Every structure is written in structure tokens, then in C-alpha cells.
Amino acid sequence: MFRPRNRTIVVFTALLLVATVPLGFVVPAVASTPVADEPVADTPVHHAPPAQRHSNAATLDDPFGVGSHGHSFPNGPTSAMEYADIDEAPGSITVGSYSRYDGSNPLNNATRATIYATVAEEPGLSLSALSEETDIPRSTVRYHVRILQEEKLVETTTVRGKRRVNPAGDDNPALAASLSDEATASLLETVARDGPASVSDLADALDRTPGTVSYHLERLADDGLVERERAGNAVVTTLPDSVAAAVGTTMDAIDAD
């Protein structure tokens, strides 16, 4: 028979053991035990916040709206040439769809028609100049010019480091670019009107420095738009017949307006 003191020690030891047993040995076993016929809670669906959701809608910054709508980039890997169509006519911004294969008229879009009319009237403008002339954002001009290219309505070439836009079939984009630039256009028009001229003659007529005139004449000569020959101590500038005729036609059209 235990003495009272020994009994107290045994009870204390037993309580100490129970208190030190990890609850993890018991709780996981209970939690993992399946309960018959217990309904399973639906798995919660976590939605991405609005800022993280991907939108396929076309916008002014991303006019192509690539995604579930099936639009693809021009010259991309897909064969369907479809675009998100942007119209920035005054008082109207609409977004629709356009495909070169559906028989629709690409000039039904007011913004695109404005750009095309400007190119036809002033061929050789750069994208920046087109943007300034039409008051249409440059990114939108680039987008519509791409469609007009696909429709074979305009052509683009790089002249003197700038991408220029001309009506399809223009056989001298360098001349169009020069006539769209005030500095070179005035030189071509002066020579066409007054005939062969020296650098000093052109500088006096246009109120420019001889150095500036020489710089622009060299650019025109590189493009084959002027011919320069030395006559005594001076270098005389003339125009090839084809260039003179084209410049004369442009001047007549300006005078008619």
C-alpha cells in the first residue's frame, strides 16, 4: 500500500505526462478521418482584382484588341487580317471591327478617309506631319496607314530618315517628300520658275544663307531631283525635265487653289 507521499508523486507525474503530450498527435488524426455523408463545401473562386484582369476590348492605345475577339496583328502569324476599327471623327469615337476580307470599304471610316484624302492632296508627308496636319494622334495615324497599305491605297517609303506616305503608284516618292518639305520645296519651285540658278542667286531669292541652300541642294542632288554643274566660279542648279514638269504641275495646282 502506497504511502500518502508516494501517491502524491505518482499523481503529479501522471498529470505532467498528460500535459506534455503534443496535441498534433491527436488533432490531425481526427481532422483527416472522413465522415460519412458529410457534404463537401464548394471550393471558393478567387477573382482577380479589376487591375489584373485582361481586357480584349480595343482602345486608342491598343487599337488591335488582340484576344478572344479573334483580332490579329497585320503581318502576324494568322491568316485572317482583322482589326479593331477606330474612328476619331469630331464628336465621335467608335470601336468596331474591320477585315480586309469581308468586302467592306476601308474608307467608310471617317478618320481613315481623312488621312487618305490628306495623303492624296499632300503626298510625301511623314507620319508626324500627317498627325499635325489632320490633328489625329500619331499612333492612330500609324494604325490607319497600315490598313491603307494592306488595301493597296497608299505606299510608304523612308526618305531622309523619315517614313513618308504616298498614294499607291507614286513613281517618285523622293520628289513627293521634297515637295512636302517647305525648305526643299521652295528651292525646287524657285529653280522651276526662274531657271538655272547659282547658290548665291537662290540664297538671295529665298532670303537664306548660302550654307543652308547648299545643304538642301546636296540632299536634292543625292535623290536625283536636281542637277548641279560648275559654270566658271559658280555652281549652277537645274532640274531634270521630269522633275521640272512635276514641280510645274504642283505649282499650277497651288495657284489654282
Pair (202, 143) in one structural domain: no
The domain in which residue 229 lies consists of 181-256
Q: What is the pLDDT of residue 160?
A: 80
Half-sphere exposure of 234 (CA within 13 A, CB side): 11
Residue 165, in any domain of the structure: yes
For the chain, percent helix, then strand, then coil, each to nearest 5?
45, 15, 40
| Predicted pLDDT at 110 | 93
pLDDT at 161: 81
pLDDT computed for residue 254 by the predictor: 67
Examine the domain organization and report whether 159 and 202 are in the same domain.
Answer: no
Counting the structural domains of the chain, the total is 2
Same domain, 161 and 244: no
Name the residue among 226, 237, 228 with its Cα closest to residue 196: 237
Q: How far apart are CA 55 and CA 175, in angstroms?
A: 44
Q: Cα dist. 93→2, 13, 86, 116, 132 in Å?
A: 98, 84, 7, 18, 19
Q: Looking at the structure, tell me whether residues 249 and 185 fall in a common domain.
A: yes
Position 101 scores a pLDDT of 61
Tell me the backbone φ, ψ of residue 100, rounded to 5 degrees.
-70, -10
Coil, strand, or helix at residue 36? coil
162 and 186 housed in the same domain: no
Is the domain of 146 the same as that of 72?
yes
Shared-domain flag, residues 147 and 225 = no
pTM over 0.75: no
- Examine the domain organization and report whether 98 and 164 are in the same domain: yes
Cβ atoms of 188 and 243 within 8 Å: the answer is yes
Q: Where is the domain boundary, 135, 169, 203?
A: 169
**Which residues are CB-contacts of 199 (< 8 A; sequence separation ≥ 6)?**
210, 213, 214, 217, 234, 235, 237
CATH code of the domain covering residue 221:
1.10.10.10
- Based on the domain organization, do 156 and 214 belong to the same domain? no
Tens-of-pLDDT digits for all 257 residues of the chain?
A: 445 566 666 666 666 665 555 544 444 444 444 444 444 444 444 444 444 444 444 444 444 444 433 444 444 433 333 455 555 554 444 445 566 666 778 899 999 999 999 999 899 999 999 999 999 999 999 999 999 999 999 999 888 888 899 999 888 888 988 988 888 999 999 999 999 999 999 999 999 999 999 999 998 998 899 999 988 888 899 999 988 988 888 787 766 66
The residue from 116, 140, 169 where one domain ends is: 169
What is the distance between the alpha carbons of residues 244 and 118, in angstroms, rounded to a whole number? 23
- Is residue 14 one of the residues assigned to a domain? no
Per-residue pLDDT, 11: 62
Query: Does a structural domain hold residue 19?
Result: no
Are both 163 and 65 inside the same structural domain? yes
Of the three residues 127, 143, 169, the one that is the final residue of a domain is 169
Q: Do 157 and 194 belong to one domain? A: no
